[in-house]
Amino acid sequence: MKVIPTGSTIGILGGGQLGRMLSMAAAQLGYRSHIVCPEANPPAGDVAADVTTCAYEDLDTIRRVWRDVAVITYEFENVPVSTAAALEDLAPLRPNARALEIAQDRVREKSFATELGGDAAPWADVASRADLATALHMIGTPAILKTRRMGYDGKGQARIAKSDEADEAWADVQAAPSILEGFVPFDREISVLIARGLDGATALYGPIENTHVGGILRSSCTPVPLSPVVEARAFDLARRLADALEYVGVLGVEMFVLGERVLLNEMAPRVHNSGHWTIEGAVTSQFENHIRAICGLPLGTSTTIGAVEMRNLIGDDAYGWHALLADPTAHVHLYGKAEVRAGRKMGHVTWVR
Amino acid sequence: MKVIPTGSTIGILGGGQLGRMLSMAAAQLGYRSHIVCPEANPPAGDVAADVTTCAYEDLDTIRRVWRDVAVITYEFENVPVSTAAALEDLAPLRPNARALEIAQDRVREKSFATELGGDAAPWADVASRADLATALHMIGTPAILKTRRMGYDGKGQARIAKSDEADEAWADVQAAPSILEGFVPFDREISVLIARGLDGATALYGPIENTHVGGILRSSCTPVPLSPVVEARAFDLARRLADALEYVGVLGVEMFVLGERVLLNEMAPRVHNSGHWTIEGAVTSQFENHIRAICGLPLGTSTTIGAVEMRNLIGDDAYGWHALLADPTAHVHLYGKAEVRAGRKMGHVTWVR
């Protein structure tokens, strides 16, 4: 296993809070981070050795500033695949472009999981208004229409309660290539995070129970009282996906639990919001294990050190930061974002009990 | 209590590993760090929002680049007091200049502790060769001659086994103003770290048992099997010093244990190497509590979450980093120092059991 020596520079595409926490984990192991992202003064910039502001499509600039990077990773799943793939001649891209490509397209993601024997809600590819009619006939209502690409935090989604809402939903997704998914009356939303090393060794976090409000992750907790069958299925699905992708790094897999069934919701080829509690709540955090994996190092153990709850600070929640600090058991994390906006993830809090 | 708002910039004098870990703790709470130090590419630079390379005496430059800092702190106790004090008109200096001034001078430090009722090994102020003769007559041998100022990691010290070694010792300290300390056949070397908030609230770490090799801290562990009397005396001394200094931030107090006696060795007005284990081994790390204190925030609890051992990676030890990563219970920290030198602190490892 070829190890990236400590002191080397890691190129990170994306400069949000995930890049911020990755940069700190990299620094703990003596690596330097060089962030590339289109936004000026990104949250990751405050803790990275270097930051370059340029479009993800500006390959000339990226190639110039990243001449010295030893490995490339990303913290944002909507980085253009063409950029990521083109940079592979500079340094190894981990996770690989295929993981990015599949995760960016809900239809490819679902097909891929299904081919691996994974369970999912009924779904259909919707390329046109006519496809939507066929899909609704087949799947029925209620259902959810989601754009195939560029959806996150509940964006690009429309619920269809009855067939006569199809026109409205098609307008909501702006007639973009989409997927129709049957509505699942799930018992729980869970996630599993899997770290997979360059040698194929894995470390698992979870299952984690997640609560979303308005499509945005509100809180996560672990352990979750699941039957051994459900837990095994959740871990198994994560392992199959990671192995089939020859994945290197941390992969987030969101699932629905319905009785004993575990249905794939979506996967994120990056460190994941539902794993922020691993900073204090696990022996090795998801961020450190992502860095270990992409640098060819042995993974650290993912064992939890207690029962854990993580709550996102979204929008106005951030104004409560000072009160939270008075709770001596709360681990408060703020991302240094200057502007508080509705729906914006400003920080998070973790409790370990 | 006036709170420094998250998003503000903290000015840090000194750019070593302590500044590096302080910057990361500051970032966790959404603060930006601006490092000032004379060395180019300091370890803290990789995780700080800004770094300025200039002499500590270059007040014009520091004033210019630090126009926007909300609070000033230091990670190195040999920062010129004149600089620290002069910067107090820019922003609050925490800990204050008096703490720095007393800690920089072994004679003032010992006098100060003694006045507060603290116990210490017999000592005498040595301003000249004649003073040394008098001091040796009074204290006897074995004894240790230490320069009053600028000593750290065992530098500026000479052991005197017999009186006829006085000339050699005086030459070793280059005839600098010094202190002669009677040699203490101590049972243990311990330290206590005290975080003191702007409101005078305190949080204590330790006692920690420390092992030095060649004057450099080799390892620290806690808890230590001490009698309740000794433990209470150690905490009491730390509290007295911090209160008397109206200290804000983390203060490291090194002590010798001799039977039931607790003798002050020295104090460091900053986060302390013997507290690096607090990152994983305490609910709130010394670094976070230093940032909380200087920003006027409530302190986090300093409770430990297990038995802890910390080992410094000194010089060549750093080459063993990869093997240490294979130990799934080891928390490896590397400081990103390019050059391995004998005696140089390259990183540390913490185990929590």
Of B3, B284, B328, the CB nearest to A322: B3
Q: Is the CB of residue A323 less than 8 Å away from at least one CB of chain B?
A: no
For residue A77, what pLDDT is reported? 87
Query: Distance between CA B179 and CA B271 in Å, rounded?
Result: 25
Q: Which residues contact B314 (CB under 8 A, 6 or more apart)?
A: B216, B218, B343, B344, B345, B346
Q: Is the CB of residue A332 less than 8 Å away from at least one CB of chain B?
A: yes
Q: Is the CB of residue B292 less than 8 Å away from at least one CB of chain A?
A: yes
For residue B318, what pLDDT is reported? 87
Strand pairing report for A308-314 and A216-222: antiparallel
For residue A153, what pLDDT is reported? 61
For residue B1, what pLDDT is reported? 63
The per-residue pLDDT for range B323-352, each reduced to its tens digit, is: 899 998 899 999 999 889 999 999 999 999
For residue B320, what pLDDT is reported? 87
For residue B179, what are the β-bridge partners? B125, B146
Is A20–B28 a contact, with Cβ atoms under 8 angstroms apart?
no
Q: Is the CB of residue A307 less than 8 Å away from at least one CB of chain B?
A: no
The per-residue pLDDT for range B164-202, each reduced to its tens digit, is: 899 999 999 999 999 999 998 999 999 999 999 999 999
pLDDT averages per 10-residue partition of chain B, 353 residues: 92 98 98 97 96 96 97 94 93 96 95 93 94 94 91 76 91 92 94 98 98 93 96 97 98 97 96 98 97 97 95 92 89 93 94 93
Is B334–A30 a contact, with Cβ atoms under 8 angstroms apart?
yes
The per-residue pLDDT for range A309-351, each reduced to its tens digit, is: 999 999 999 888 888 999 988 999 999 998 899 899 999 999 9
**How many separate helices (H) and strands (E) can be counted in chain A?**
11, 17
Of A20, A24, A321, the CB nearest to B6: A321
Contact A17, A345 (CB under 8 A): yes
Instruction: With cut-offs at 50, 70 and 90, classify the pLDDT of residue A233.
Output: very high
Identify residue B12 by its one-letter amino acid code.
I
For residue B84, what pLDDT is reported? 92
For residue A1, what pLDDT is reported? 64
* Residue B247 C-alpha, separation from nearest chain A C-alpha, in angstroms: 20
Question: What percent of chain B has pLDDT above 70?
Answer: 98
For residue A156, what pLDDT is reported? 81
Instruction: Write out chain B residues lying below 8 Å of A281, CB-based.
Output: none
Is A28–B334 a contact, with Cβ atoms under 8 angstroms apart?
yes
In this predicted structure, the answer to whether residue A281 has a pLDDT above a threshold of 90 is yes
The answer, yes or no, to whether the previous bond of B269 is cis (omega within 30 of 0) is no
Instruction: With cut-offs at 50, 70 and 90, classify the pLDDT of residue A163.
Output: confident
Q: Is the CB of residue B334 less than 8 Å away from at least one CB of chain A?
A: yes
Helix, strand, coil percent content, chain A, rounded in steps of 5: 35, 30, 35
In this predicted structure, the answer to whether residue A106 has a pLDDT above a threshold of 80 is yes
Instruction: Write out chain B residues lying below 8 Å of A329, CB-based.
Output: 283, 301
Q: Is the CB of residue A276 less than 8 Å away from at least one CB of chain B?
A: no
Is B283–A328 a contact, with Cβ atoms under 8 angstroms apart?
yes
For residue A214, what pLDDT is reported? 85
| DSSP string across A100-157 | HHHHT-HHHHHHHHHHTT-EE--EEEE-SHHHHHHHHHHH-SSEEEEESSS--TTTTE
Is A47–B47 a contact, with Cβ atoms under 8 angstroms apart?
yes
Q: Is the CB of residue B324 less than 8 Å away from at least one CB of chain A?
A: no
Which residues 17-76 of chain A have a CB within 8 Å of chain B? Answer: 20, 23-24, 27-33, 45-49
Whole-model pTM: value is: 0.93
Q: Is ipTM > 0.95 here?
A: no
Q: What is the mean pLDDT of residues A136-165?
A: 86
Helices A228-244 and A106-115 meet at what angle, rounded to 10?
Answer: 110
* Residue B309 C-alpha, separation from nearest chain A C-alpha, in angstroms: 15
Of B30, B305, B325, the CB nearest to A347: B30
For residue A151, what pLDDT is reported? 65
Instruction: Write out chain A residues lying below 8 Å of B199, CB-based.
Output: none
* Residue A337 C-alpha, separation from nearest chain B C-alpha, in angstroms: 7
Of B7, B28, B283, the CB nearest to A329: B283
Of A283, A292, A336, the CB nearest to B27: A336
For residue B267, what pLDDT is reported? 95
In this predicted structure, the answer to whether residue A152 has a pLDDT above a threshold of 80 is no
How many degrees, rounded to 5, is the angle at CA A353 between CA A271 and CA B331? Answer: 55
